[in-house]
Amino acid sequence: MQLFLIAFQQPIPFGISAVVVIVMIGIILKSALTAEGGSRWVRRVTGTNAKFLFTFLFIGWAVVFGIGLQLVPHVGASSPYGALGLIALFTGFFIAMGFLWAVIGE
């Protein structure tokens, strides 16, 4: 029952999450309806120099989260360390997969 009342108990976070979901669905729908051959930024990311882009993204990711995770407190349940670690995990996975795709795809 509590799940159905969350929109009334916390309307702002619920509205923000609903907007994020709608935007994600719109992006996925647009990508699914796209014809073969992408726009200019798609060709740039999937081109022959994409391995350099993803290499610099990976190095930047390692530096930012390597330093960022050391600056936040590590103790206590209210520490942002776990949230930053989860964000680092997901972003690092997609950057690493993009790098592998760019290198192996040639």
Domain positions in the chain are 1-33, 39-106
Note the pLDDT tens digit of each residue in 48-94. 788 888 889 999 999 999 998 888 887 877 788 888 889 999 999 99
Tell me how many helices (H) and strands (E) the chain has. 5, 0
**Rounded CA gap, 84 and 13, in Å?**
20
For residues 86 and 4, give the distance between their C-alpha atoms in angstroms, rounded to a whole number: 27
Give the DSSP H or E segment for 82. Answer: helix 81-104
- Residue type at position 106: E
- pLDDT (0 to 100) of residue 38: 61
User: For position 105, what pLDDT does the model report?
Assistant: 67
* The model's pTM: 0.57
Q: What is the pLDDT of residue 63?
A: 94
pLDDT for position 28 = 86
